[in-house]
Chains A and B, each alone.
Chain A
Amino acid sequence: KNQVEQSPQSLIILEGKNCTLQCNYTVSPFSNLRWYKQDTGRGPVSLTIMTFSENTKSNGRYTATLDADTKQSSLHITASQLSDSASYICVVSLFVLGDYKLSFGAGTTVTVRA
């Protein structure tokens, strides 16, 4: 079972609308949580990185939140644009046996329609 679960698997929204993507994780001990945007046929690009002491971080129209107690994160996209159509991947970093490891979610595919 994946230790990082994302929902929904996919969603379609109209241009200009807002949406929120969810990420729940079970891994511990937690080091940091990242959100990446992956356009079709491209590599993932970092949007935000949050440590356990941060509960919100923004990057333009993208705002990520983190609740380390409930092990949940969300990514909110405000006033969506056609260029927001992509897969959004949640990545959790954990510290295990003296080393850091990254655990990836399967991603949420967002389609923005005009």
Chain B
Amino acid sequence: GAGVSQSPRYKVAKRGQDVALRCDPISGHVSLFWYQQALGQGPEFLTYFQNEAQLDKSGLPSDRFFAERPEGSVSTLKIQRTQQEDSAVYLCASSLTGRGRAGELFFGEGSRLTVL
């Protein structure tokens, strides 16, 4: 596709439910990132993939959060037993090169999760 695509755009979950958020990066992009953005704050790093390898998951807040990118393209962020503090916008970004390098980072529109 032309850009990074995320779905669903909006998700309302009851506390305790599991949710899955999908990210379709730009075709051919090596790096994929997940970020969590609370209202009025900058994005906070969750995890990073280089192709199918998850090279950094240090930002995942608990073992309820799990991400995968099995074929090195589409990625899924799964949150188990959601809590109210999980309410945020989850941003996915992709880059042609490795993270932090001068290559541009392209973000999706985000998935807004609201946990009731």
Shortest distance in angstroms between B84's beta carbon and chain A's nearest beta carbon?
Answer: 21
Contact (Cβ within 8 A) B44 A104? yes
Contact of A43 among B44, B45, B91 (CB under 8 A): B91
In this complex, how many residues of chain B approach chain A with their Cβ under 8 Å: the count is: 24
Main secondary structure of the interface of B (DSSP, over half): loop
Contact (Cβ within 8 A) B107 A44? yes
Contact status of A104 and B43, CB under 8 A, knowing A43-B91, A43-B109, A44-B107 = yes
Residues of A bordering B, CB below 8 Å: 4, 31-32, 34, 36, 41-46, 49, 51, 89, 93-95, 99-102, 104-107, 109
Q: 7 smallest A-B Cβ distances: which pairs?
A: A100-B100, A43-B107, A104-B42, A93-B100, A106-B42, A44-B107, A43-B109
A32-B101, A43-B108, A44-B91 given; name 7 further pairs at CB < 8 Å.
A4-B42, A31-B101, A43-B93, A49-B102, A99-B100, A101-B99, A107-B40
Residues of B bordering A, CB below 8 Å: 4, 35, 40-45, 55-56, 91, 93, 98-102, 104-110
